[in-house]
Amino acid sequence: RLAHLNSGILSESLIALGHQPGSRTLAAVPRMAFTAALGHSLGPVHIDLTVKYPLIISNIGNGYNPATGIFTARVSGMYYFRYTMFNNLGSRSNSVMSLMKNSQRMVSTWDTSGSDDNDTATNAAVLQLEEGDNVYTRLYANRQIYDDGANYNTFSGFLAKIRTPPGTPMPAWPSASPISAYQVIISNMGNGYNPATGIFTARVSGMYYFSYTMYNNNRGSTPNSEMSLMKNGQLMAYTSDIVGNDFQNSATNAAVLRLEAGDNVYTELYANRRIYDDGANYNTFSGFLLFPLNLCSL
């Protein structure tokens, strides 16, 4: 009886993950996930350079190669990537980095040294990858990042959903830049994100993950940056950057949200505030369905 019950639970779990009974075993579902850290300072570099993170924290599926710093997709699907850079450089070089897909810039971070130091910047994106596509981070020429072995600089990613047959209903995976209606679409599986309004609308009830990054290139008396992640008019998460002698600062926040079909999620820029972008996609908004709740219960 217990074996029968366990079999039923496993079958239900497979359906919740988008698999029909008998189509694949759980062990056959591709798994790819990694986190790697730099662990040492890098730069100033003389040319644009792929960052090689040698310290492997996890590397399920061995998609990330520490010798090259490159993640290679072993299966086509939707992936989530996130990187963090750290600047402790005083009056020395700035830190400027990008997340790259097959030599194409996806999103970026920039921090300029000033009277402050010990600054961190993070950005992320949901990317649709074909088998064999490469994703990595790039540190630009004459820039550098700092680490003392505490793993301030990290690079992470995981497979969120494998490709399904044509015509299969898809959950939403928005990733776009910049604000307040982010109009540069990097990926939008399921078309849940509307670039005309800047709003993501849930098509199915479930648990979702959202993150956003704001960028401030303000100096002196120019406005501060304040933003929030909003769900149906309710504040979920908040970021703030106050101008000073430093500038070119980033702030990131994220949340796991339970949404019902029709719920709206978006970012809100506050009155008399501003953010800056020059086309390098410093300001981003990303999200994806973790799992539906019509078959799974909390």
What pLDDT score was predicted for residue 242?
74
What pLDDT score was predicted for residue 223?
64
Structure tokens belonging to residue 116: 């402050």
The torsion defined by the Cα of 39, 40, 45 and 47, in degrees rounded to 10, comes to -30
Domains for the chain: give ranges and CATH numbers: 1-28 (no CATH), 31-163 (2.60.120.40), 166-298 (2.60.120.40)
User: Are 208 and 287 spatial neighbours (Cβ–Cβ below 8 Å)?
Assistant: yes
What pLDDT score was predicted for residue 7?
33
For residue 70, report the phi and psi dihedrals to the nearest 5 degrees: -110, 135
- Give the span between the Cα atoms of 128 and 163, in whole angstroms: 9
| pLDDT by 10s per residue, the chain, length 298 | 333 333 332 222 222 333 333 444 444 667 899 999 999 999 999 999 999 999 999 999 999 999 999 999 999 999 999 999 998 765 565 899 999 999 999 999 998 766 666 788 999 999 999 999 999 999 999 999 999 999 999 999 999 987 655 444 444 445 555 445 788 999 999 999 999 999 999 999 999 999 999 988 765 556 688 999 999 999 999 998 876 666 678 889 999 999 999 999 999 999 888 888 889 999 999 999 998 987 544 4
